[in-house]
Amino acid sequence: MKVNYSLSLHDLLHDYNCARLSNGVADAHQHLVEAWGDPYLLPDPFAWTWYVYHLSETGAASRVHDLLLDYRWLRAKLNTFEPSALLADFEYAPAYEDLRLVKSALSLSAHVLNQDKHQLAGQLTGRLLSYKHNHPLIAALLADAAAYTDLPAFLPTTPTLTQAGGSLIRTLTGHTANVHAVAYSPDGRWLASASYDETLKIWDAKSGREYMTLVGHKHWVNAVAYSPDGRWLVSGSSDKTLKVWDTESGRVQITLVGHTRTITSASFSPDGRWIVSASYDKTLKLWDATTGGELITFTGHGDWVSDVSFPHQHSKQIVSASNDGTIKVWDTALGYEQLTLTGHKAGVRSVAYSPDGGRLISASSDETLKIWEANTGREILTLRGHTEGITTGRFSPDGNWVVSASFDGMLKLWDLRSGDENFTLTGHAGAINDAAFSPDGRHVVSVSEDKSLKIWDISITNTSSESFEQSHPTTAVAYSPIQHQIVAVSESKYIRVLNSQNGQEYLRFLGHSKRVNALTYSPDGMRIVSASSDGTLRVWDSTTGNELFVLEGHTDWVVTAAYSFDGTRIVSGSEDGTIKVWDAKSGREHLTFKAHIYGVNTIAYSPSEHYIVSGSRSDALKVWHVDDDIHEHMTLRGHTAPVNSLAYAPDGCHIVATFDDGSIMGWDMENAQQYLTLLGHTDVVNSAVYLPDKHHIISASRDKTIRLWDSTTATDLARFNAEAEVYCVTASPDGQSIVAGDHLGNVHLLRLVGV
């Protein structure tokens, strides 16, 4: 990519004045700082941009340190500029550990703050909590963040966001679908990503800022690669075409047509003259990079070809990987197969040459990587450690390390000198599709089905091997009505009882044989009911974890459950389409009725105890009158998308429901009229509840946000960005604390302030 270098008038005047002032430079900076006055009320954008620089040039390192740990000043600057400008100030700061951590927290939060600057307090708090006790100035910063938050905000009380100071530098967001491939520019200044949203994006690798979006493909974009001089990008798509893009203008230079199915991989030759591509049509093709002319088609694989690349030194060979389980080396001059490498027990997802061209690395769905001798095809080494298929394996620029990415959501770094796994990087909320080293070998970039890119500093991670327990998504949470206690469950089937103030687990129990889908406390807080895919409900003592009895009778998954407000009944809904009402004391089945044609996936008991509302993914919401028998009372209409959750307002007069189309709707239960529509989430809304004041609603979404809404004005008052899809949310009895569970297994404890 072309970059214009220029010398500004400011640079000339700066150098001239520095030469004239000689030993008086610091005094000149001091005069300028004093002239600007109050650092919280700087007069113009220029002053905000350069204040910290000029302050640092006065020699006042302690003042710079104090300013960059001042929450009010950080907020004031962020209100004027983007996060990248705030991060730039830390380049002039002294090398203190607390400043390094705050800079890291801001960098980790930049993608959130770019969209919502009001989350500064919540993001800083969530990423610095683990340092609060050992760094007094960070503790003071977080105290100020809470004190000076004048708008509604969610403040974490436990460190469930990625903590500052680790190997993750930043997250890049902007794609709206699975990100499938990524490449560094040869000079390391830029990143290019390819996505299922049919676009490519070019990013500034240092700042993380999105530079350009390339639009032209008509289906998923699966592959991207830079030319050796960085001037061009080649992309491959499920629209069966390759496109060569000008990185300066963002325009398509040529389109290559010839493959008959999805293109999976593309690469430039080392001299930039050729492009090679791989496809689901089981072929590879060699193209003239200038004219787009097809030169050679390589056939021989027995299944779709997943990856292809050139050696770094020459264009005489290419190597390909296929779902047929083989790797093939080809002669590009004559178009024939030179070697076939076998040894993997499943499809091979990626293959690449080492920097010196002497070795190959392959990654397979059999959960292994293999290192091969490139000239002979001899297997040298097998690397094992991933728990699902591996999507990519790449050599470091010095050839001593390998990075691998997997469907298990992990990146692993391997030391080829010992053959050992060195460490594991976690943080993506889904399968990782691709990864690449920066040209200097210091950083790794990864892309995921979670729609994001992540940049990692691999020099920060410990050099000793680390083990990670894979977390299961937290699928249900509930707040005790009387104790400082919450209960949460994940796909691991364990039910966990946690302290609601510090998140510490003090009880864990297991009884269901399959996933637990719902949890609810009895009104007195002494019992917990769980609903499971094993077709049962179980009632537990909340203080001991002892199982009291099992409710059996449903013939399919039990998806949802609720207590009546007087605690005498339990209601459950199942994929078998029925709702059952149970005696909460004895466990005896009281009523059963067919509620929906298909499964019942959410229910709510009215505070008056006379009504149950049920929802299905296939038809309307229904209100049932429940007494000694049951009959349909009314139908709530107005929605078209599948429903995910239901909740009554505390007064029983209104109900709120969440939907797959990203909407939240409310109904007046006296007349069955829709009175509320909340729009703002960008993906499925999984859960929502009223706060005790009846006017505020909390929601949780696949878009990774928890939101606070004012139901009287239908406005979004505050947000908290988690790092994965948020499945469930509920509030404490006083409405001041929120608990939510996400795809990474976190249980977020949030304090709601400013309401």
Q: Which helix (H) or strand (E) holds 104?
A: helix 97-113
Tell me if 186 sits within 8 A of 439, measured CB to CB: yes
pLDDT for 1 equals 56
Q: How many residues does the chain have?
A: 755
The Cα 160–Cα 147 span in angstroms is 21
- Indicate whether 259 belongs to any domain: yes
Pick the last residue of a domain from 422, 457, 492. Answer: 457
- Indicate whether 8 belongs to any domain: no
Count of CA atoms in the C-beta half-sphere (13 A) of 156: 27
Phi and psi at residue 414, in whole multiples of 5°? -120, 140
- Indicate whether 1 belongs to any domain: no
Burial class (CB within 10 angstroms; exposed 0-12, middle 13-18, buried 19+) of 450: buried
pLDDT for 356 equals 96
- Indicate whether 686 belongs to any domain: yes
Q: Which tokens is 747 given? A: 């249980």
Answer yes or no: do 557 and 610 share one domain: yes
pLDDT for 14 equals 59
Domain that holds residue 313: 175-457
Instruction: Label residue 280 left, alpha or beta by phi (over 0 means left) and psi (-120 to 50 means alpha).
Output: alpha
Pick the last residue of a domain from 457, 483, 509. Answer: 457
Answer yes or no: do 451 and 478 share one domain: no
Q: Which tokens is 665 given? A: 């709707």
Residue matched to tokens 């002039």: 92
Pick the last residue of a domain from 157, 185, 211. Answer: 157
The C-alpha angle 403, 409, 411, rounded to 5 degrees, equals 15
pLDDT in tens, 389-434: 999 999 999 999 999 999 999 999 999 999 999 999 999 999 999 9
pLDDT for 461 equals 61
Q: CB under 8 Å to 735, separation ≥6 — which residues?
A: 691, 692, 693, 696, 752, 755
DSSP string, 583-634: ETTT--EEEEEE--SS-EEEEEE-TTSSEEEEEESSS-EEEEEESSSEEEEE
Tell me if 584 sits within 8 A of 570, measured CB to CB: yes
Residue 625 confidence (pLDDT) above 50: yes
Local confidence band at 634 (pLDDT 50, 70, 90 cut-offs): confident
The Cα 268–Cα 228 span in angstroms is 7
DSSP string, 643-702: EEEEEE-TTSSEEEEEETTS-EEEEETTTTEEEEEE---SS-EEEEEE-TTSSEEEEEET
Residue 5 confidence (pLDDT) above 50: no
Q: Which tokens is 615 given? A: 């929802």
Mean pLDDT of the chain: 93
Answer yes or no: do 442 and 546 share one domain: no
Task: For residue 639, list its beta bridge partners.
Answer: none
Residue 86 confidence (pLDDT) above 60: yes
Residue 569 confidence (pLDDT) above 80: yes
Rounded mean pLDDT, 224-240: 98
Q: What is the count of structural domains for the chain?
A: 3
DSSP state of 95: -
The Cα 525–Cα 593 span in angstroms is 28
Count of CA atoms in the C-beta half-sphere (13 A) of 639: 32
Burial class (CB within 10 angstroms; exposed 0-12, middle 13-18, buried 19+) of 186: middle
The Cα 708–Cα 723 span in angstroms is 18
The C-alpha angle 40, 46, 50, rounded to 5 degrees, equals 75
- Indicate whether 3 belongs to any domain: no
The Cα 574–Cα 535 span in angstroms is 8
What CATH code is carried by the domain that includes residue 534?
Answer: 2.130.10.10
pLDDT in tens, 19-66: 555 557 888 899 999 999 999 999 999 999 999 999 999 998 999 999
Angle between helices 120-128 and 97-113 (to 10 degrees): 130
Answer yes or no: do 144 and 248 share one domain: no
- Indicate whether 575 belongs to any domain: yes
Answer yes or no: do 373 and 517 share one domain: no
pLDDT for 11 equals 57
Local confidence band at 748 (pLDDT 50, 70, 90 cut-offs): very high
Answer yes or no: do 478 and 452 share one domain: no
Burial class (CB within 10 angstroms; exposed 0-12, middle 13-18, buried 19+) of 15: exposed
The Cα 313–Cα 461 span in angstroms is 32
Tell me if 726 sits within 8 A of 123, measured CB to CB: no
Answer yes or no: do 193 and 102 share one domain: no
pLDDT for 361 equals 98
The Cα 180–Cα 53 span in angstroms is 40
Rounded mean pLDDT, 259-282: 98
Answer yes or no: do 639 and 559 share one domain: yes
SS3 content of the chain, % helix, strand, coil (to 5): 15, 45, 40
Local confidence band at 710 (pLDDT 50, 70, 90 cut-offs): very high
Answer yes or no: do 436 and 484 share one domain: no
The Cα 388–Cα 287 span in angstroms is 34
What CATH code is carried by the domain that includes residue 26?
Answer: 1.25.40.370
Rounded mean pLDDT, 89-111: 96
Tell me if 236 sits within 8 A of 221, measured CB to CB: yes
Phi and psi at residue 685, in whole multiples of 5°? -100, 120
The C-alpha angle 734, 724, 124, rounded to 5 degrees, equals 65
The Cα 255–Cα 132 span in angstroms is 55
Q: Which tokens is 53 given? A: 């620089």
Residue 648 confidence (pLDDT) above 90: yes
Query: Which is it for the CA torsion 335, 336, 338, 342, positive or negative?
Result: positive
Q: Specify the range with the lowest mean pLDDT, choosing from 2-16, 46-60, 572-586, 719-733.
A: 2-16
- Indicate whether 633 belongs to any domain: yes
Query: Which is it for the CA torsion 618, 624, 627, 629, positive or negative?
Result: negative
- Indicate whether 488 belongs to any domain: yes
Answer yes or no: do 69 and 182 share one domain: no
Tell me if 364 sits within 8 A of 326, measured CB to CB: no
Q: Which tokens is 552 given? A: 């059996």
Query: Which is it for the CA torsion 219, 221, 227, 232, positive or negative?
Result: positive
Q: Specify the range with the lowest mean pLDDT, choosing from 327-331, 505-509, 656-660.
A: 505-509
pLDDT for 463 equals 36
More confident residue, 716 or 3: 716
Tally of helices (H runs) and strands (E runs) in the chain = 9, 56
Helix (H, G, I), strand (E, B), or coil: what is residue 109?
helix
Q: CB under 8 Å to 349, separation ≥6 — which residues?
A: 306, 307, 321, 363, 364, 365, 389, 390, 391, 392
Task: For residue 445, list its beta bridge partners.
Answer: 436, 455
Phi and psi at residue 344, in whole multiples of 5°? -70, 150
Answer yes or no: do 507 and 622 share one domain: yes
Tally of CB atoms within 10 A around 334: 8
Q: Report strand pairing: 368-373 vs 359-364.
A: antiparallel
More confident residue, 339 or 629: 339
Residue 6 confidence (pLDDT) above 60: no
Q: Percent of the chain beyond pLDDT 70? A: 96
More confident residue, 12 or 304: 304
Tally of CB atoms within 10 A around 157: 18
Q: How far apart are the first and last CA of the chain?
A: 49
More confident residue, 672 or 323: 323
The Cα 661–Cα 103 span in angstroms is 37
Answer yes or no: do 362 and 483 share one domain: no
Query: Which is it for the CA torsion 711, 712, 715, 720, positive or negative?
Result: negative
More confident residue, 484 or 220: 220
Residue matched to tokens 């680790």: 166
Instruction: Give this prediction's pTM.
Output: 0.91
pLDDT for 470 equals 52
pLDDT for 22 equals 56
DSSP string, 570-590: EEEEETTSEEEEEETTT--EE
